[in-house]
Structure 1
Amino acid sequence: MIRPEGLYTDEVVYRLFTNGLNARPWKVSELLSSPETEDPRTEVAWKFASRGYYAEQAGLVTAAALAAETDDLAYRFDMATAASDEARHADAFLRFAQHLGGDAEECFEMLEPLDEALTSLPYPGKVLAHTVLEGFAADEFHLFTEYFKGHPAARIYEHVRHDENRHVAMGVSHLARACRDPEFSAALREHGDAWLERIREHADVTALSAMFSELTGKDPADFERWFTARHRQRMASARVVIEGR
């Protein structure tokens, strides 16, 4: 249990929590509609909705673990709302995959290592990994929203992206506060590079950029620069210092 001192002293920090708490819940049942019969994007939507079901579960477990492990009350409350969001996302992706294809793609073994990697990290590594991965997910979902424009998948990705952006803001805010603690800051400086390498095994920006290049016909280098620039902006906002970076 954490004493309440400090919860209300930073208006911006508290507002992040209340934004999550009071966010208007969306219902996947209101978003399920059938795409045009011959829309070639439907198979892509089914595949990535299936994978999203497992990936969002990994995010849920990590958010719940962070809520339990943190000694920052605002972040505990933040991660509780994030865990609830991730459950909604996992359910939405599963139901959408079933709506499109009758069943979800069997990709458990592909995404199980992500869950194992996240749960094995120490607390500072979990915070870093969760924030970084939520950021990449939000950016990925932005691109999917554009790619699926006019397809039912776009509406789901737009709602999920909105939630993920809020989780990123929560993580960046907490990292900025936590980095004032010498022990937390030292752990990031010493081990952050290794943690980021582990994260990159599951958020391969080069592979992600190549995938969007294949879907859109655009230069993969442009996507990679965009993903990398967005990631660096988030880390700069959090004032994260990692040796060698």
Structure 2
Amino acid sequence: MTLLRPDELDEDELTYRIFRVTRDRSPWRIEDVLREGRFSDDPVRAERAWRVASRGYYAEQAGLVAAATLAVETEDAPLRFSLALATADEARHADAFYQYAKAVGGEPEQCREVLQPLDDGLASLPYMGRALVHTLLEGLAADEFILLSQVFAGDPLGRLYHHVRRDEIRHIAIGLNFLARATRTPEGRDAWAAHAQEWHDIGIGLTGLEEVGVALAAHTNRDPADVQAWFLRRHRARLTAAGIEIDIQEGR
């Protein structure tokens, strides 16, 4: 691993501002969150909460590994610093979902194999592709947490999703800012033009968006196609706002 000089750390005002926001964030504690609501007396609802929290434990751990790997491999100083803080966030998230799962239903469900393909898929991509897919996954997770915080409103899990989502929004900004800067360089522009669509489609496949849409539709009494389209609209809006151009089609 190359140790980076500080020359470019605060060269870009927006990039450094995003880093400072992550650096100076107000922390939250899972112990406090567990006291903020009332666990459900409905065994079906409690089991559902335990299962999604178990999945959250493994998903956040995958995010931790992705952020840490990207931090180690980059020669972009502000990105490395920002991703180091994001890695710590992901560790706190994973532990929080673990603590919630134990409180509501015992040890987390063994669902590692469900998320292992995501980890493997990320590892197979080149750096810019991994950065894109990691940012895509963080964005879709943040959107999913909007719906899950509604599904579990009044339960500590609903409040937990609120806190985790606030962290994920900062992570999305880190990724989008890097991609916007990287695609302005000659090398990055060429790589993006040649491979961005391929990387993006791989990322959409790794999200299991269709299955996620079906599950959330069942929880929220909505049509699965409408839920999936909602995710894609929000994803498209984030990329467009960052000045990142890519073809995103509903049903892709």
TM bin (shorter chain)? over 0.9
Query: Where do 1:78-97 residues align within 5 Å?
Result: 78-97=82-101
1:207 aligns with 2:207: no
**1:141 corresponds to which of 140, 145, 155:** 145
Q: Which of residues 156, 159, 166 is equivalent to 2:163?
A: 159
1:237 deviation in Å? 2.6
1:84 and 1:77, CA in 2 relative to 1: closer, same or farther beyond 3 A?
Answer: same
CA drift of 1:244 comes to 9.0
CA separation of 1:167 and 1:244: change in aligned 2, threshold 3 A: closer
Where 1:226 maps in the other structure, the secondary structure is helix
- Please give the alpha-carbon distance, in whole angstroms, between the structure 2 residues aligned to 1:136 and 1:244: 14
SS at match of 1:7: coil
Written as runs of structure 1 = structure 2, the 5 A alignment for 1:26-175 is: 26-33=28-35, 34-38=38-42, 40-175=44-179
Alpha-carbon offset, residue 219 of structure 1: 2.1
> Is the 1:189–1:241 Cα contact (8 Å) retained in structure 2?
no
In 1, Cα distance between equivalents of 2:119 and 2:248: 27
Segments of 5+ residues of structure 2 without an aligned counterpart are none
Please, which of 172, 178, 184 is the counterpart of residue 182 of structure 2? Answer: 178
CA distance 1:70–1:213, change in 2 (3 Å): same
- Under a length normalisation based on structure 1, what TM-score does the superposition of the two structures give? 0.94
Q: Deviations over 1:214-241 (max 9, x none)?
A: 1111222322221111111122233334
Q: Structure 1 stretches of 5 or more lacking a match? A: none
**93-102 or 33-42: bigger deviation:** 33-42
Q: Distance in 1 between matches of 2:128 and 2:83?
A: 15
Q: Give 3-state SS (helix, strand or coil) of 1:104's partner.
A: coil
Residue correspondences, number: 245
* 1:207 alignment partner AA: E
Instruction: Please point out which of 6, 10, 14 is paired with 1:4.
Output: 6
8 Å Cα contact 1:176-1:237 kept in structure 2: no
By how many angstroms is 1:82 displaced?
A: 0.4
Taking only the aligned residue pairs, the percentage that are identical comes to 46
Residue in structure 2 matched with residue 22 of structure 1 by the alignment? 24
